[in-house]
């Protein structure tokens, strides 16, 4: 059953029905981060464009693990706009990914601070923009439910799970892009998936119980 739930979670989220990732063209795989960063620091806009194409999925996932889906797209652009004028201060060009991920996380914190001042906070589970309309397919509803379950997990599991299940990044790719230890990513993916399975199983059991009660009332 656990294997089925894991497959269902991945399949639901890979539909990109709740929060589509940016459409990214392939970057030139032969260019290293270091060479692209060095060129960008000298004002090469095409090199920075390649960095965008290479890292937009990661930035999207880091943000999605922290903010509402409806806010993510604009914030992805904001991360790169914030990074560009600061790029000259990056001393270790090969550490662009971890540096950019830190900017994304900090931007998410700033975003929540601004939203709190404006609205006194918002409830992730109650955001109607992330709930599928009545006429949409069941896979959209399933994807929304899985995403909600992931968001309720501890932060240490949310980011790698979103990067793996929503953005389609492998464990080694997550480690390489974010600068996290490969072993930590592997452990957090494993433990996070375990907790996700449990939450999905609980939701399924609760739904079945509710349906049985409703059927019993109708028959009674």
Please report, for the domain that includes residue 9, its CATH number: 1.10.10.10
CB 185 within 8 A of CB 160: yes
Of the residues 109, 131, 153, which one is the last residue of a structural domain?
131
Nearest Cα residue to 95 out of 61, 51, 157: 51
Residues of the chain where predicted confidence (pLDDT) is lower than 50: 1-9, 11-20, 23, 25, 121-122, 124-126, 128, 130, 132-133, 135
Of the residues 95, 112, 131, which one is the last residue of a structural domain?
131
Q: What is the C-alpha to C-alpha distance for residues 136 and 128, in angstroms, rounded to an integer?
A: 14
Name the pTM for this structure.
0.74
Count of CB atoms within 10 A of residue 74's CB?
A: 10
Do 147 and 124 share a domain, yes or no? no
Instruction: Provide the CB-side half-sphere exposure for 138 (13 A, CA).
Output: 1
Q: What is the pLDDT of residues 128-137, one digit of tens each?
A: 454 544 545 5
Q: What is the pLDDT of residues 193-218, one digit of tens each?
A: 999 999 888 876 666 556 555 555 66
């Amino acid at each position: 059953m656990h294997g089925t739930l894991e497959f269902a979670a991945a399949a639901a989220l890979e539909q990109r029905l709740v929060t589509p990732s940016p459409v990214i063209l392939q970057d030139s795989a032969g260019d290293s981060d270091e060479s692209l960063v060095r060129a960008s620091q000298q004002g090469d806009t095409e090199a920075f464009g390649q960095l965008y194409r290479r890292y937009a999925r990661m930035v999207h996932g880091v943000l999605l693990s922290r903010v509402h889906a409806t806010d993510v797209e604009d914030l992805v652009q904001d991360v790169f706009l914030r990074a560009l004028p600061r790029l000259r201060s990056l001393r270790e060009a090969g550490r662009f990914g971890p540096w950019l991920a830190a900017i994304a996380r900090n931007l998410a914190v700033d975003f929540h601070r601004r939203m709190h001042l404006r609205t006194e906070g918002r409830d992730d589970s109650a955001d109607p923009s992330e709930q599928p309309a009545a006429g949409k397919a069941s896979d959209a509803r399933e994807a929304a439910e899985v995403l909600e379950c992931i968001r309720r997990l501890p932060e240490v599991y949310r980011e790698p799970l979103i990067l793996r299940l929503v953005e389609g990044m492998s464990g080694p790719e997550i480690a390489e892009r974010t600068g996290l230890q490969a072993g930590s990513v592997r452990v957090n993916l494993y433990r996070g998936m375990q907790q996700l399975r449990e939450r999905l199983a609980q939701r399924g059991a609760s739904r079945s119980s509710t349906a049985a009660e409703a059927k019993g009332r109708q028959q009674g």
